[in-house]
Structure 1
Amino acid sequence: MTEPHVVGPKATRREWIGLGVLALPCLIYSMDLTVLYLAIPSIAAELRPSAGQMLWIVDIYGFLLAGFLITMGTLGDRIGRRKLLLIGAACFGGASVLAAFSTSAEMLIASRALLGITAATLSPSTLSLIRNMFLDDRERMQAIGIWIAAFSAGGILGPVIGGVLLQWFWWGSVFLLAVPVMLLLLIVGPKLLPEFRDESAGRIDFASALLSVAAVLAVIYGMKRLAEHGFTAAPFVIIAAGLAIGGLFVRRQRRLADPMIDLSLFRAPAFGTALGCNVLTIFIAFGFFLFIAQYFQLVLGMTPLEAGLWTAPSGVVFVVGSMLAPKLAQRWPVARVVAGGMAVSTLGFGLLTQLGSLPFPLLMLGYTLFCAGLAPIGALTTDLVMNSAPPERAGAASGISETSFEFGGALGIAVLGSVVMAMYRSGIVDAVPPGLPADAVAAARDTLGGAVDAARALGPNGDALLLAARDVYVATLEKAAWICAGLSLFATFLILALEKRLSDTLQPEPAA
């Protein structure tokens, strides 16, 4: 049975227009995570980065964004969320210009680093402002659904718009997309967006900020190394160091009179449960997204454009699911909606466990089902997190919420990615046909991409190698689908068991 929702003052046209303004930087934030991939060949040809430099060009944005989310969310509570958003927007626009006109790999790395730090101001500021602009529970949930949808839309539009720009302009044009959006935000933001800050908050504790950034960066970087190099000692040492620094951070918060993060937030039953849902949902989704994109290109032989078009429906499903989440929560308790979504994703993954024998329409059905099941969850759990936190702590809560999504994605790619690669390498050992050159065998045992390249180099003699590698990869993906199906099913029953904890926050009443 659902509880009556908290009826607050209804949002006016100004708040809804302001929400549209807040959605724009979220769109750019998401696009900047994906748009670079299309520009990599052009960047490599012009700037001539080393392999290590290219990795940093790609990765440093996401690393620093994740590392600074909590710090920036807390900073917004202290200096003003609108003020921080506008400062961040101006800096993000400037960093985008620097990136677009970079003349060396080092300059592009530095620009991408600045983009990551300034991007960390955008998401917590926008979400915490939504918390203060929409005081009615039902309207706030709808606003958060639109906010989440903006991120999904950015993921869809990034490759499409980036591809169009790269068709006609130089690689730096993909970064200039942000400039007019940030200019618009700077012009209309002061007129449409309210200011809010915690008047009782003291100065930010820089030691706490340093510890939080170091802890998140170390754990994320360790997970990245785990995904790249498998289960070796170094990634676990780095992750352990990050966890140890995180322990020091928590210990310091308990001693401070005015902590950077109010640890009492985690005593709200729905807060921690919702964060756990965030991590698990993104863990499942990101891990499998990585594999399905490779399957389309390396097994089915699609071009990057074709693969992008066939993966685009997942973004559309996430947009629609985020928008529908408030409607679903008006009819059923949040816990049951989340559990139902997990159950639907279980069905989708169940279909994908038969990947090798599925006709393409059923493959897309399974893919769409697991996306549709996970789609509403982010909006619902984010609303639970924000509703669990007092208004003066909304910035910190939003930073924590966004960091949980970043951790879930990194964990999914690292752990599930490492497990899949380990299973592939184990299976390919006995599947490689005898009599092939040693370098071709070594490439095939490394990755499926290596096997495809080696088979092409061998010409007709490589057909057997290509067939064997693809068969092993399909069998591996079926096992990965079993893992994801099991996790989704486990989450379904876990959420139902925790229904009371999730219901401790006020929830919209059923629609008439």
Structure 2
Amino acid sequence: MRSWAGLGVLALPCLLVSLDAEVLNMAAPQLTADLRPSAVQLLWIMDSYVFVVAGALIAMGVLGDRIGRRRLLLAGATAFALSSLLAAFARSPELLIAARVLMGLAGASLMPSTLALIRAMFTDARRRGIALGVWSASFSLGGLAAPLIGGVMLEHFWWGSVFLLAVPATLLLIVLGPALLPEARDGGAKGFDLGGAVLSLAAVLIFVYGLKRLAAEGRPAVPFLAILAAGGLGALFLRRQRRIPQPLLELGMFRDARVRVALATNALSFFVLYGTQLAIVQYLQIVLGLSPLRAGLWAMPSVVAFLVSSLAGPVLTRWFPTGRVVAAGAVVLAAGHALMAFAPFGGGLAALVTGMVIGGLGLAPVYTLTTDLVVSSVRSSRAGMAAAVTETGAELGGAVGIAVLGSVVVAAYRYGMSGVPGLPADGTLMDAVAAGDDAIRAAGPAYGNAFALVSLVAAALVAGAAVLAFRVLRPAPAPADPSDMVEPVACSTGAASVPGARS
């Protein structure tokens, strides 16, 4: 019972992260009217948290392995609460940006720690799968509750009140954590690769920044230079990891093809999720003419589907190999996007919402089970590092998806609108809405065709991942030498080959 009560405590940071990300978007209009940030400052207010989280995950995961996952989790929760207070009462854009950066550093310490502690608390593969389902479902609950809670807060209080939501959740974690969560660390590790941490932070941060600039502006010069610089820093980071005795990243884990495919499938699921989100929102609100509230309500069934499937996916591994469940989830996710492609061609709102629900049902087991595959692939003392690798892959996959699939939508839409007079060559859907009835009448079919194209591209990519997962994610034989650096991945229907306790 203590483990399951501890799991409830670990769900708090997940709720916190998803809730915080959603409610800030809702508070943007009030925040802008009060602080008067410039366009660049507003971009950093909204995005600096994501940039820092993505860049710091690996370093924080390894730091937890070194000093203790529970210790880092509690320290990160304290820092998150304090930086949230700073953000809530910020009186200038610069101070709010600084607070968001601190929140990002604190947030990066939460996710790898929760995953690594779940590995320590649930050594049986089946129970751990259910625990990871609960862990994943807590993200959905946060996203589901955000519009309601954020709307109530913004209706009665100032924009900074949305940041105060973090304080009671972190206080509960800080009070209950020491009693319910075990401590776990890598007892044999010495020192911390600070140089590698700086390189990984810089490489990922600059890479995500370049992709976001590319997706937002479409001008390739500066974004491509940023991505090239990030690639150079990433190469230096990997070279350093091969040469030092205590690396941040255990490169040996990538020798297992199943780990590589699990990471790729996980990242691709977020590539598709984030890459199609904006297109779905615009289709609901602009093409179908729904208000933001109605669009949000029609999106909620897919969140509920994700929540249910997060718990159902691990249960299916009692009867089917994990790799088969991952492949089936990817097929269902692909089918959902394929169905959404019919929305502009007579399917309408029903096809779109049904496709979103089917996609949510398929996404959850892919995300939850591939995360378990990677975290279970290393010795227990490096679970924080493996968890951080998975989360970093998801962040990068989402960033690349926004840039690539967003560019597909823009290019297809502009091609469809190329003959419409009175619009700039680089005009957007919002430009057509502002231009008048003729442009709007042309924009609907043009954007519908673009939406159908990106939905089919997403479906094809996920279907390819399903084939790869089916072929590669097979049950692995146990190694002859129990001291192997990389443990077998939990791909069987029985218990995974994971140590019964962690150092």
| TM-score, length-scaled by structure 2 | 0.93
1:380 aligns with 2:369: yes
In 1: Cα distance, 2:272 partner to 2:7 partner:
29
C-alpha distance in structure 2 between counterparts of 1:475 and 1:502, whole Å: 44
Q: Is the 8 A contact 1:270 1:388 kept in 2?
A: no
Question: Given the alignment of the two structures, is residue 141 of structure 1 paired with residue 122 of structure 2, yes or no?
Answer: no
Q: Deviations over 1:447-470 (max 9, x none)?
A: 112221x23xxxxxx211111112
Structure 1 Cα separation of the partners of residues 147 and 98 of structure 2: 23
Aligned residues: 484
Deviation at 1:270, TM superposition (A): 2.6
Q: How does 1:154-303 map to 2 (within 5 A)?
A: 154-230=142-218, 232-303=220-291
Q: Secondary structure at the match of 2:164?
A: coil
Query: 2:484 is matched with which residue?
Result: none
Instruction: Select which of 291, 305, 312 maps to 2:293.
Output: 305
Q: Which residue of 2 aligns with 1:112?
A: 100
SS at match of 1:308: helix
Give the match for residue 113 of structure 2. Answer: 125
Q: Does 1:468 align with 2:449?
A: no
- Displacement of 1:159 after TM fit? 2.3
Aligned residue in 2 for 1:76? 64
Task: Name the CA shift for 1:501/1:483 in 2 (closer, same or farther; >3 Å).
Answer: farther
- Alpha-carbon distance in 2 for matches of 1:48, 1:369: 41
The yes-or-no answer on 1:398 pairing with 2:387 is yes
Deviations along 1:277-328, whole A, 9 cap, x unmatched?
1111111121112211111111111111111111122211111111111111
Structure 1 residue 273: deviation in Å? 1.7
- The 1-side partners of 2:116 and 2:490 are apart by 18
Provide the C-alpha distance between the structure 1 equivalents of 2:392 and 2:157, rounded to a whole number of angstroms.
34
Contact 1:285–1:371 (CA under 8 A) maintained in structure 2: no
Q: Is 1:451 matched up with 2:432?
A: yes
Deviations 1:349-394 (A, max 9, x none): 2222222221422332122112222221111001101111111001
Question: Mean alpha-carbon deviation: is it higher for 309-318 or for 495-504?
Answer: 495-504
Aligned-residue CA RMSD (Å): 1.6
Could you tell me how far 1:337 is from its partner in structure 2?
Answer: 1.2
Q: Is the 8 A contact 2:133 2:311 kept in 1?
A: yes
Counterpart check, 1:317 vs 2:305 = yes
Q: Which residue of 1 aligns with 2:402?
A: 413
Q: Which runs of 5+ in 1 are unaligned?
A: 1-12, 456-461
The 10-residue stretch of structure 1 (368-377 or 405-414) with the greater mean CA deviation from structure 2:
368-377
Q: 1:506 — aligned with what?
A: 490
1:37-91 per-position Cα deviation (integer Å, ceiling 9, x unaligned): 1101101111111111111100001000111010000000001111111111111
- Compared with structure 1, are the counterparts of its residues 510 and 14 closer, same or farther at alpha carbon in structure 2 (3 Å cutoff)? closer
SS at 2:182's partner residue? Answer: coil
In the TM superposition, residue 133 of structure 1 has moved relative to its aligned partner by 0.8
Report how far residue 244 of structure 1 moved: 1.3
> In 1, distance between residues paired with 2:291 and 2:403?
26
Residue 487 (structure 1) aligns with? 461
CA deviation vs aligned residue, 1:155-209 (integer Å, no higher than 9, x gap)? 2222221111101111111000000011111111111111111111111011111
Cα contact 2:120–2:380 (8 A) shared by 1: yes
| Aligned equivalents of 1:276, 1:215: Cα separation in 2 | 19
CA 1:151–1:475 in structure 2 vs 1: closer, same or farther (change >3 Å)? same
In 2, Cα distance between equivalents of 1:447 and 1:306: 23
Letter in 1 for 2:322: V
**Partners of 1:93 and 1:350 in 2: CA distance:** 42
Q: 1: CA distance between counterparts of 2:74 and 2:356?
A: 39
Deviation at 1:446? 2.1
Per the alignment, residue 411 of structure 2 pairs with 422
Q: Secondary structure at the match of 2:123?
A: coil
| Structure 1 length-normalised TM | 0.92
Asked if structure 2 preserves the Cα contact closer than 8 Å seen for 1:273 and 1:501, the reply is no
SS of the aligned residue for 2:204 comes to helix
Whether the aligned pair in 1 keeps the contact of 2:80 and 2:106 (CA below 8 Å) is yes
For 1:427, the aligned partner's letter is G
Any conservation in 2 of the 1:230–1:422 contact (CA below 8 Å)?
A: no
Deviation at 1:153, TM superposition (A): 1.7
CA distance 1:496–1:240, shift in 2 (3 Å): same
- Match of 2:361, as an amino acid? A
CA distance in 2, matches of 1:58, 1:502: 43
Q: CA deviation at 1:506?
A: 3.4
- Counterpart contact for 2:336–2:358, Cα < 8 Å: yes
Tell me whether 1:333 sits opposite 2:321 in the alignment: yes
Contact 1:332 1:510 (8 Å CA) reproduced: no
Equivalent-residue separation in structure 2 for 1:395 and 1:57 (angstroms)? 28
Q: Which amino acid aligns with 1:83?
A: R
- Amino acid in structure 2 at the alignment position of 1:419: V
Q: Distance in 2 between matches of 1:212 and 1:82?
A: 23
Cα distance in 2, alignment partners of residues 313 and 223 from structure 1: 30
Q: Distance in 2 between matches of 1:495 and 1:426?
A: 35
| Partners of 2:374 and 2:386 within 8 A in 1 | yes
1:322-361 map, 5 Å:
322-356=310-344, 357-361=346-350
Residues in 1 aligned to 2:438 and 2:250: alpha-carbon distance in whole angstroms: 60
Contact 1:138 1:508 (8 Å CA) reproduced: no
1-structure distance, mates of 2:492, 2:471: 21
Structure 1's 245 and 70: CA in aligned 2 closer, same or farther, altered over 3 A? same
For the residues of structure 2 that align with 1:186 and 1:445, how far apart are their CA atoms?
51
**Partners in 1 of 2:367 and 2:335 — Cα distance?**
19
Percentage of pairs with the same residue:
50
Match of 1:202, SS state, is coil
Once residues 137 and 351 of structure 1 are traced to their aligned partners in structure 2, the CA distance between those partners, rounded to angstroms, is 34
Aligned partner of 1:450: which letter? D
Distance verdict in 2 for CA 1:445–1:246, change over 3 Å: closer
